[in-house]
Amino acid sequence: MVDPERDTRRDAVGSLGAALRELIDAAVRTEVPLDELAAVESVVRAQADRLRATQRELAQIATIDDPEVGERWYNPVYGPGSPLAPPLLVTESADGRVTGEVTLGKAYEGPPGLGHGGVTATLLDHALARAARSAGHGGLTATLSVRYRRPVPLGTPLLVRAELGTTEGRRATAIGRLTTAADPETVLAEGEAVLVALRPEQAAEVFAPTGRSVAAWTDRSAPG
């Protein structure tokens, strides 16, 4: 359903998120003098106070989100409004296949010039879950295994591909791999996950603090 007011706010949130990601990149790469660091800190803290003027509680869902389909605008992996997100740009199909495109900047560094292993795992985890959800198998990650084959470079366009594997009741498996966009045949990391959908009554309990109906992580085949 089209919601012009929500769409306008989404645009503003996405624009602010992009600006904050630029700020983070500048902050982790800067070598400016100490007095300049102090001056910028003062400005940043003042702007943070402005944003705190009206805030959600920790469990409260943002007005621009859609928990029924899993749209999270502040998601730390792909959320346009999240200063933490690289962000991962995902294309999905109804047959349980997804492709994500991302370039990791300095903020995601582990060893010098290389992506942090935890970030690699996070990208794969998200793609694997999206692959299952795109085929109608929403769920939470129960197990995740990652095999690191080669170092992941910073500042290089990357591809994350994932697909649904097997399904049995509320359980689904998914497999995926991370490569560079320029060499999609050379695998940098592989991931495999087991995802388990919550029963409706479980979801109601788990997400009760949100005060909202959250369907994207539930067993949609179950009654009720």
Side-chain-facing half-sphere of 22: CA atoms under 13 Å: 6
Task: Tell me the pLDDT band of 224, cut-offs 50, 70 and 90.
Answer: very low
Weakest mean pLDDT among 23-32, 130-139, 165-174:
130-139
pLDDT tens string 160-188: 999 999 999 999 999 999 999 999 999 99
Q: Where do the domains of the chain lie?
A: 1-224
Beta bridge partners of 176: 162, 191
Band of residue 222 on the pLDDT scale cut at 50, 70, 90: very low
The answer to whether the beta carbons of residues 121 and 164 sit under 8 Å apart is no
What percentage of the chain exceeds 70 in pLDDT?
A: 97
Concatenating the DSSP letter of every residue in 42-94 gives HHHHHHHHHHTTS---TTPPPTT-BTTTTB-TT-TTT-TT-TT----EEEE-T
Instruction: Note whether 171 and 140 are within 8 A (CB).
Output: no
pTM: 0.92
Query: What is the rounded CA–CA span in Å between residue 84 and residue 75?
Result: 8
Peptide bond into 87 cis (omega under 30): yes
Q: What is 1-224's CATH number?
A: 3.10.129.10
Span 106-130, pLDDT tens digits: 999 999 999 999 999 999 999 999 9
**pLDDT higher than threshold 90 for residue 138:** no
pLDDT (mean) for 182-202? 95
Distance CA 170, CA 202 (A): 12
